[in-house]
A and B are shown apart, each in its own frame.
Chain A
Amino acid sequence: MSFRLYHEMNKMKKGNILMENVIFIILIIVFISILFVFVTRQGSNQSVLEKQLAKQIALVIDEAEPGTQVQIRVEDEFNKYPGGKIQVDNNVVNVNFGSGAGYSYGYFNKVNVESNILDLNSDGFKGRYLTLIIK
């Protein structure tokens, strides 16, 4: 084997090793990205958000005294599901971010609640808020 042929073979071998490693690293990055997307989507999917928000609102109303006004930031939820609805009526909180019936959770505090989704832009409150007026 001449020196030139040996040198060429050596270069090809090095190129193969480099290519294999690059493909391997790309595959790892793709796998990790898919996993990351899966985990973040699971945590913020429609059903989880509906349950979480309905229960949070129910607890806030249960704790509140008449005359209280509460603001809950719902900017992220409504950016993700722009057609979402939140209804508070007859001791039931209903949160609906999809086309179905949404998720309902009951509260036990005997109060009248007025709820509105407002875009606020005042001190300390910037963005979309659910405003609850407890009467």
Chain B
Amino acid sequence: MINKIGGDRLLAIYWFIMFVIVIIGLVSGVSIFFSKPLDIREAEGNILADKLTNCFINKGIYLSSFMDRFDSEGLEAVCGLVLEDKTGYYENGNEQYYIEFKIGDKIASSNDAVKSKLHGLCEQEDLRKNIPICVNRNFFVLKDDKFEKVEILVIVDKVKQNAL
């Protein structure tokens, strides 16, 4: 009889410990999951690359005036973009996006000042830890009746709101 009561108590303690372990696991799992911000930078980068593509291509044909306008007016004015983060989360709001566009031997970029800061980080992307997201696009367009290779690189920083 005494042995049975002792056995029951031991079983109750064992059940209690199991409960505590399960609760700690669930609570910490849920908390960790919801404390991580929703990372939408890849989606942003893809939309930005689409916008840029639609900006210089019309029905698969390269708009020859694009590069000249890019040089004179700037990318933001030509493609209807605002590449500055105005939320106040970042001291350098105008350094949150970087766009590089290459057709043939011509290269144009949105903000040369950001190039050195963000460009090198794309190679470390497999680490995926608190670094900007890079989106690459490579395709061919018709330019002067010839196929020309286009390379687009879009980098979205915004680490504070998406990765930390």
**B is a partner of A:** yes
**Is there a chain B Cβ closer than 8 Å to A120's Cβ?**
no
Contacts of A38 in B (CB 8 A): 27, 30
B81-89, B127-135, B142-150 - the one binding chain A = B81-89
Nearest CB on A from B101, distance (A) = 16
Main secondary structure, interface of A, reads: helix
Contacts of B97 in A (CB 8 A): 108
Contacts of B87 in A (CB 8 A): 92, 104-106
Given contacts A31-B19, A62-B44, contact A110 B80 (CB under 8 A): yes
Q: Could you give, for residues 72-107 of chain A, a 1 whenever the CB lies within 8 Å of some chain B CB and a 0 otherwise?
A: 000000000000000000111000000000001111
**Is there a chain B Cβ closer than 8 Å to A128's Cβ?**
no
**Is there a chain B Cβ closer than 8 Å to A39's Cβ?**
yes
Give the complex CA separation of A112 and B8 in angstroms. Answer: 70
Contact B26 A39 (CB under 8 A): yes
Give the complex CA separation of A109 and B84 in angstroms. Answer: 11
Question: Given B27, B48, B86, which contacts A90 in the complex, CB threshold below 8 Å?
Answer: B86
Contact B88 A63 (CB under 8 A): no
**Is there a chain A Cβ closer than 8 Å to B76's Cβ?**
yes
Contact B81 A110 (CB under 8 A): yes
Question: Given A43, A48, A52, A63, which contacts B47 in the complex, CB threshold below 8 Å?
Answer: A63
Contact B38 A108 (CB under 8 A): no
Nearest CB on A from B3, distance (A) = 15
Within 107-164 of B, Cβ neighbours of A (below 8 Å) are at: 161
Report B's interface with A, CB cutoff 8 A: 8, 15, 19, 23, 26-27, 30-31, 34, 37-38, 40, 43-44, 47-48, 51, 76, 80-89, 93, 96-97, 161
**In the complex, given contacts A24-B15, A106-B87, what are 9 additional A-B residue pairs having Cβ atoms less than 8 angstroms apart?**
A31-B19, A51-B38, A59-B43, A59-B44, A62-B44, A62-B48, A91-B82, A106-B84, A109-B51
Report A's interface with B, CB cutoff 8 A: 20, 24, 31, 35, 38-39, 42-43, 45, 48, 51-52, 55, 58-59, 62-63, 90-92, 104-111
